[in-house]
Chains A and B, each alone.
Chain A
Amino acid sequence: MNLSRRTITLGGLASAAASTVPLRAGRAQAQPTIKIGCLTDLSGPYRDLAGPGAIAATKMAVQEFAAKGFNVEVVSADHLNKPDVGATIAREWFDRDGVDLIVEVANSGVALAVAGVAKEKNKIFICSGSATSDLTGKSCNASTIHWVYDTYMLAKSTGGAMVKAGGDTWFFLTADYAFGKALQRDTTDFINAAGGKVLGSVAYPFPGTSDFSSYLLQAQSSGAKVLGIANAGADTINTIKQAKEFGIKMRLAGLLLFISDVHSLGLDVAQGIALTDSFYWDMNAKARGFSDKFIAKMPGDRPTMAHAGVYSSSLHYLKTVTEMGAAQAKLDGAATVARMKAMPTEDDCFGKGSIRIDGRCIHPSYLWEVKSPAESKGPWDYYKPLGSTPADEAFRPLDQGGCPLVKA
């Protein structure tokens, strides 16, 4: 019994694998097939900012591009926010399924693991959803591009542009671990550089803190104009909700907040928060055009900047593949990435931009303020502009990241 059941399982999987492989090989002979894998979080905290929308955005890019001379297939999977699961799927995609490019990957730990796999297998990874600036810093490699945002950009935009917009005294509420402390440190630097002042900060134990009331009152009594919220995900949501409940009069600055978070908080609670996004669906006519196509695929959802990044990066990749030939692009991931860096980027979401030698895609970043319910004209009409940082200043200067590719 034991034996037969195991053999049956294995046999079943084996025949399933065997039946799919020759089919693909047969197609490849006629016309090369480029495969894009969307590895994302479908069941955890990043589902709303990436998740199913990211898969839809990848498919949109493929459909719109209408590739000539090669076929494009899209596959997708859930990394469960576990780096080992993500790395296994990435390896299997590259080794067995002929995937050439992995997009998205919200979750820094998983993203760094996938970047390592892409380098080892000489394939490509374009990250949209995760924040770590290490991807283009000390962990950068010739197969990886970081598209949308990173912690440096968030700190610079929210810290620097906020001071210019009048928020010159700050108090930080910080999650007491590497990520929170790094956000606070970086943002503090930009606040000081812009002529602002940090009046104080409080670190709370992470994870496991759900009551922020005493920290919020401490922040209020400091007399600072801006409360910098240096945490992420559910903690940010809790902080904002409780700040509303306690009637905190400071302006809240979320250092890592997506439009999907604002959507779930509701304008009544979220109004007045300042946050940084490099893309807002209603920022110009072209972005609106993209967003209208997106909402047709994902009813009720406007795209986040991660969704826009997945779309825009897939499109740029397909353009490069057309230029260099699909067969060539399949062979050598690093060479394809080099071509992508040589070619300026342009699309509906991020406008004109370029990719630096360290894999950082650069474009302007924008500081937004969440509208009050009275100002908002309809669903998802959430942001009004507060300030912006031009593309060449928005990201960490090349020589400060410690990326080995820069020296070479």
Chain B
Amino acid sequence: MFGFSRAQSIAFVVMLVLIVVSPYVLYPVFLMRVLCAALFACAFNLMIGYVGLLSFGHAAFFGMGSYVAAWTMKVWHVDASIAVIFGALTGAVLGLVLGYLAIRRSGIYFAMITLALAQMVYFFCLEAPFTGGEDGIQQVPRGHLFGFIDLSNDMTMYWVVAAIFLGGFLLVHRIIHSPFGQVLKGIRENEPRATSLGYRTDDYKLIAFVLSCMIAGAAGGTKALVFGIATLTDVHYSTSGEVVLTTLLGGLGTVFGPAMGALVVTSMENYLAQFGAWVTVTQGVIFMICVLAFRRGIIGEIGAFLKISL
């Protein structure tokens, strides 16, 4: 199925079961936040894990996707599905423009260029009239999906978000297991050799970047849909940092790692909220432990222990 190995198929089935069962146990709105974060991390993982490029500006695509989805729903009153598609397209177009500039460098230079471009997007969002400045776009109605599914019910909304997440997850999986994905991995391992074999590596990297940005935009749009808000938090560089943390914690370059990382990071934000300052302290400590003790991330270490690739 979709090029899953046996171990991955089992893990996928388990993830499916968890997605179906958990809303009856845990709070659905919290789970929707986890799923949006997971989809965002999957998009980010496509770049860092399979192309080997650390983008430090992914919040720009996530945030702009969220702004555009919220704005189109609030002002144009478009259908929820159209809004998410608008979000994804915004991510893709922005990714094409910024990626075209950034993709020519790699390593720290790539990270710095993406960070700089993302900061420009942040300032744009701070000043542009349609984003509502530091108050953001607020009280966006959830509306209807395909015109007849009422999304104001949390459970209905949950299934829609779950479907979007699974769609994005499988898309990422499909991309990395396609011949195109194999070329990406080849570029990651040895770019001059890929060039010498006749691959136009810049084009491959740009396409991967645009795909990643598109999925990030869709994740942002979905988040705007769930919470009815789009704010500066989503384009802030701390969101870019958080997605790095999420992916590293879950497991860089693993299929299931980003989802696991999103679950852990979002749970910490949510369930430690009553302990105040301890949220950020705990996040920092866990990040350090992760980097020092298990560098492959949670899923990566499990995979290494079981000698399988997850």
Could you tell me which A residues sit within 8 Å of B by CB distance? Answer: 1-3, 5-7, 9-10, 13-14, 17, 42-43, 47, 51-52, 75-85, 87-89, 91-92, 95-96, 108-109, 112-113, 115-116, 119, 132, 134, 139, 176-179, 206
- Given A43-B279, A78-B274, A88 and B33 contact (CB-CB distance below 8 Å): yes
Q: Are B274 and A77 in contact (CB under 8 A)?
A: yes
Q: Which of the listed residues A43, A87, A88, A206 has the most CB atoms from chain B within 10 Å of its own CB? A: A88
Residue of A nearest to B131 (CB): A178
- Given A13-B25, A78-B277, A177 and B227 contact (CB-CB distance below 8 Å): no
Q: Are B25 and A89 in contact (CB under 8 A)?
A: no
Q: Are B11 and A3 in contact (CB under 8 A)?
A: yes
Q: How many inter-chain residue pairs (CB < 8 Å) link A and B?
A: 140
Q: Are A2 and B269 in contact (CB under 8 A)?
A: no
A213 to B277, CA, bound (A): 33
A215 to B260, CA, bound (A): 49
Choose from B25, B138, B234, B302 the contact partner of A14 (Cβ within 8 Å).
B25
Interface assignment of B18: CB less than 8 Å from any CB of chain A: yes
Give residues of chain B (245-303) contacting chain A, Cβ–Cβ below 8 Å: 256, 260, 263, 267, 269-271, 273-277, 279-280, 298-299, 302
Please encode chain B, from 146 to 159, with 1 for each CB lying within 8 Å of some chain A CB and 0 for all others: 00000000100000
- Given A77-B274, A139-B139, A2 and B25 contact (CB-CB distance below 8 Å): no
Q: Are A2 and B27 in contact (CB under 8 A)?
A: no
- Given A109-B232, A112-B135, A85 and B29 contact (CB-CB distance below 8 Å): no
Choose from A42, A43, A84, A179 the contact partner of B223 (Cβ within 8 Å).
A84
- Given A43-B276, A83-B231, A177-B127, A10 and B134 contact (CB-CB distance below 8 Å): no
Q: Are A89 and B270 in contact (CB under 8 A)?
A: yes
Residue of A nearest to B127 (CB): A177
Residue of A nearest to B132 (CB): A178
Please encode chain B, from 222 to 254, with 1 for each CB lying within 8 Å of some chain A CB and 0 for all others: 010001110111100000000000000000000
**Those 7 A-B pairs whose CB atoms lie nearest each other, nearest first:** A42-B276, A178-B133, A77-B273, A43-B277, A116-B139, A14-B25, A112-B138
A176 to B127, CA, bound (A): 8
A67 to B262, CA, bound (A): 42
Q: Are B26 and A13 in contact (CB under 8 A)?
A: yes
A229 to B227, CA, bound (A): 34
Q: Are A2 and B274 in contact (CB under 8 A)?
A: no
* 14 chain-A/chain-B pairs, Cβ below 8 angstroms: A2-B260, A6-B263, A10-B25, A75-B274, A78-B274, A81-B233, A83-B227, A84-B33, A84-B229, A88-B29, A112-B136, A116-B228, A177-B134, A178-B132
Q: Are A177 and B126 in contact (CB under 8 A)?
A: yes
Q: Are B231 and A109 in contact (CB under 8 A)?
A: yes
Interface assignment of B109: CB less than 8 Å from any CB of chain A: no
Q: Which of the listed residues B223, B233, B276 has the most CB atoms from chain A within 10 Å of its own CB? A: B276
Residue of A nearest to B277 (CB): A43
Residue of B nearest to A182 (CB): B133
Q: Are B127 and A85 in contact (CB under 8 A)?
A: no
